[in-house]
């Protein structure tokens, strides 16, 4: 956090530690995410990126450490409550509701996380507009099991969007995609960001991170080793070591 920033942060993580038995997955992590920021999270495999996401979205309980979201401590809230407060996420390995169509997948989000009471027709409209925006319009009534990899990624993002998030966490949404598909997803994320949604993007594909992020943080072995502008972080000695594995 820079002193010049007067707005309070959207998400403030302070002194977060997470242990599994004897293994410390996160060690004293503190970071602030500003409203509307495009934030990149990188680090080698097993560095604690997904653990951090799980702590923010509520899949793991955290103690010690606090997680403040819009000035409210959410560390003890269940995941679905956090979703309703405005934290949405996609999964590293897509987790669609397999017995449903694409449209129904989104309807779950609209049914349970929509903030205000809206009519069924309005929900349908809102669902279709999200799907169109994601380029999934024609697939609305297709079973989730019949989607291609890139379509699954897009559907995950669409489902997250349907919860009307303030903060969207994209967990390696581009892994395993072709370069043209990577660009497609990246454009989608950029267009979402342009509509005042804060986005944390976890990614291994460096060009994507560089192009997308305003700020990048690098984790290694559960600790923050660098944080700053993309070029600063890329130039950091320790980041290069962590990635080259010296």
Residues that bind another protein (CB under 8 A): 20-21, 57-59, 78-81, 83-84, 88-89, 91, 95-100, 104, 107-109, 111-113, 159-160, 163
Q: What is the C-alpha to C-alpha distance for residues 32 and 146, in angstroms, rounded to an integer?
A: 39
Shortest distance (Å) from residue 80 CB to another protein? 5
Please, which residue, 160 or 189, has the CB nearer to another protein? Answer: 160
Please, which residue, 25 or 225, has the CB nearer to another protein? Answer: 25
Q: What is the C-alpha to C-alpha distance for residues 61 and 213, in angstroms, rounded to an integer?
A: 28
The answer to whether the Cα torsion of 23, 199, 204, 83 is positive or negative is positive
Q: Are strands 198-202 and 87-89 parallel, antiparallel or unpaired?
A: unpaired
Please, which residue, 108 or 210, has the CB nearer to another protein? Answer: 108
Please list the residues that pair with 227 across neighbouring strands: 217
Shortest distance (Å) from residue 62 CB to another protein? 16
Q: What is the C-alpha to C-alpha distance for residues 230 and 221, in angstroms, rounded to an integer?
A: 20
Shortest distance (Å) from residue 159 CB to another protein? 6
Please enumerate in sequence order all residues whose Cβ is within 8 A of that of 169, keeping only pairs 6 or more positions apart, or say none: 53, 56, 57, 87, 88, 89, 90, 199, 200, 202
Shortest distance (Å) from residue 86 CB to another protein? 10
Please, which residue, 9 or 58, has the CB nearer to another protein? Answer: 58
Token pair belonging to 38:
């495009």
Shortest distance (Å) from residue 128 CB to another protein? 17
Shortest distance (Å) from residue 234 CB to another protein? 30
Q: Are strands 72-73 and 87-89 parallel, antiparallel or unpaired?
A: unpaired
Q: Within 13 A of 183's CA, how many CA atoms are on the CB side?
A: 2
Please, which residue, 80 or 238, has the CB nearer to another protein? Answer: 80
Please, which residue, 111 or 232, has the CB nearer to another protein? Answer: 111
């Amino acid at each position: 956090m820079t002193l010049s920033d007067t707005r309070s942060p959207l998400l403030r993580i302070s002194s977060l530690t997470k242990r599994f038995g004897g293994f410390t997955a996160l060690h004293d992590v503190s970071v602030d995410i500003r409203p509307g920021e495009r934030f990149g999270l990188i680090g080698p495999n097993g560095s604690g990126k997904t653990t951090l996401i799980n702590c923010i979205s509520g899949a793991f309980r955290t103690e010690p450490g606090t997680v403040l979201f819009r000035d409210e401590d959410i560390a003890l809230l269940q995941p679905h409550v956090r979703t309703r407060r405005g934290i949405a996420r996609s999964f590293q390995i897509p987790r669609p509701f397999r017995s449903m169509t694409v449209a129904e997948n989104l309807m779950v989000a609209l049914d349970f996380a929509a903030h205000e009471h809206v009519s069924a027709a309005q929900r349908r409209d809102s669902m279709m507009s999200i799907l169109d925006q994601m380029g999934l319009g024609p697939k609305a009534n297709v079973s989730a099991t019949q989607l291609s990899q890139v379509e699954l990624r897009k559907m995950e993002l669409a489902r997250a969007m349907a919860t009307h998030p303030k903060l969207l966490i994209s967990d390696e949404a581009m892994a395993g995609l072709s370069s043209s598909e990577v660009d497609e997803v990246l454009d989608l994320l950029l267009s979402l960001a342009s509509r005042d949604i804060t986005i944390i993007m976890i990614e291994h594909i460096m060009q994507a991170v560089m192009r997308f992020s305003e700020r990048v943080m690098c984790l290694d072995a559960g600790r923050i080793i660098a944080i700053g502008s993309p070029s600063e972080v890329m130039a950091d000695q320790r980041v290069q070591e962590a990635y080259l594995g010296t």
